[in-house]
Amino acid sequence: MLDPTSLKVNSWRSLLQTHVISSTPHDTADGDTRTPAADIRGYLSDLAREGTLHFKANPGNAGDSMIASATFQLFEDLGIDYQIIPVEGFDATGKLVVFGGGGNLVEGQTYARQFIERHHQQARRLVVLPSTVSGHEDLLARLGDKVEIFAREEKSLQHLRQHCRAAKVLISDDLAFHLDTNRLLDAALPCLHGCLFHKRFVRRQFLLLIAAIRRLLLHTTTIHCFRTDREKTNLPRPLWNADISKWFRCGTRSPAEADRSSRMMLQFLDHYREVHTNRLHVAIAATLLDKEVRFYPNDYFKCEAVFRYSMQHRFPKVRWVNPTD
């Protein structure tokens, strides 16, 4: 008699083989040696055939909301049955658990690490969607073969391959590249009272008013969106700088929160012809809107690594700018 446990393991191994072997490379130029990106849509579809996905988006700013919006769109398009993991009281035992990925599994950040540590042994499978990964070598070494981690660029992929002893490792583009911007901009979104009655709302409206006045009086077509948080660099910021990833933060706990935040960012950027930024998802949003993008480094390798893997060979309007060159 067949062991049901072995059937689950064999199903999982089959899923991995399918999406490693049939992974689709980017449109590449001759001599391009980038690792082919896994077919994330096919991967999620096959994973969902094993049961309900229990999903936790990475919390954070409007960039994280953009990743979450794209993920929720994929779930809807693929007909995936999913449940959002609550803030407290979640028991992962026997469940398919999916963490939304992003930039949280790096030195100095703890949320993704704590989530993985809490659930990887109890979950039937734990998948970390495309992420930048550095540090946390001790955690990576402890992860078993029930864990699957997607890098979103080559440097993270090499780090994972070096330190994951049993966990499976793949690579795919940041999920924000899958966002259907037209669909999001045209959607009827519910009013979020948590976004309205908050000091961030007042500050946001003031900054939006200033931006509108500048466009009207100065005919401004270029916007600078440089980081003002812990990942900022020594690059001098212009007097008028719009750190919109902070302005438009509404949350990632639901599709409504993620979509509201993402749409505000897209609507703001759509007023401009050219965007200068060292915010990864501002650059991605502007790219999806077909803007001219001048993309700068943040304080570690994330921005350049994603540019080299996902943007350099596919989006001619995006130009990498290294101030030290």
Q: Is the dihedral of CA 223, 310, 59, 196 positive or negative?
A: positive
pLDDT digit string, tens, across residues 38-69 = 999 999 999 999 999 999 999 989 999 999 99
Cα–Cα distance for residue pair 79/65, rounded to 1 Å: 21
Single pTM value for the model:
0.87
Residue 197 predicted with pLDDT over 80: no
pLDDT digit string, tens, across residues 97-144 = 999 989 999 988 889 999 999 999 999 999 999 999 999 999 999 999
Cα–Cα distance for residue pair 299/260, rounded to 1 Å: 28
Q: Is the dihedral of CA 189, 192, 196, 201 positive or negative?
A: negative
Mean pLDDT (the chain) is 87
Torsion of CA 232, 171, 266, 196, to 10 degrees: -70
What was the pLDDT predicted at 141? 97
E strands present in 146-187:
147-151, 168-171
Q: Is 51 left (phi over 0), alpha (psi -120 to 50) or beta?
A: left
Q: Which of 253, 240, 248 is nearest to 281 (CA)?
A: 248
SS3 43: helix
Cα–Cα distance for residue pair 56/87, rounded to 1 Å: 9
Over residues 226-249, the mean pLDDT reads: 86
Categorize the per-residue pLDDT at 192 as very low, low, confident or very high, splitting at 50, 70 and 90. low
Token pair for residue 116? 């993985």
- Distances, alpha carbon 154 to alpha carbons 141, 158, 257, in Å: 19, 6, 31
Cα–Cα distance for residue pair 96/74, rounded to 1 Å: 17
Torsion of CA 88, 89, 93, 96, to 10 degrees: -40
**C-alpha 73 chain-centroid distance:** 13
Tell me how far apart the terminal alpha carbons of the chain are, to the nearest angstrom.
66
Decide: residue 153, CB within 10 A, 0-12 exposed, 13-18 middle, 19+ buried: buried
Categorize the per-residue pLDDT at 325 as very low, low, confident or very high, splitting at 50, 70 and 90. low
What was the pLDDT predicted at 5? 37
What was the pLDDT predicted at 238? 84
Spatial contact of 189 and 198, defined as CB atoms under 8 Å apart: no
What was the pLDDT predicted at 211? 83
Categorize the per-residue pLDDT at 191 as very low, low, confident or very high, splitting at 50, 70 and 90. low
261 vs 236, residue with greater confidence: 261
Q: What H or E segment, with its residue span, contains residue 82? A: strand 82-84
Domain ranges within the chain, ordered by starting residue: 4-178, 181-320
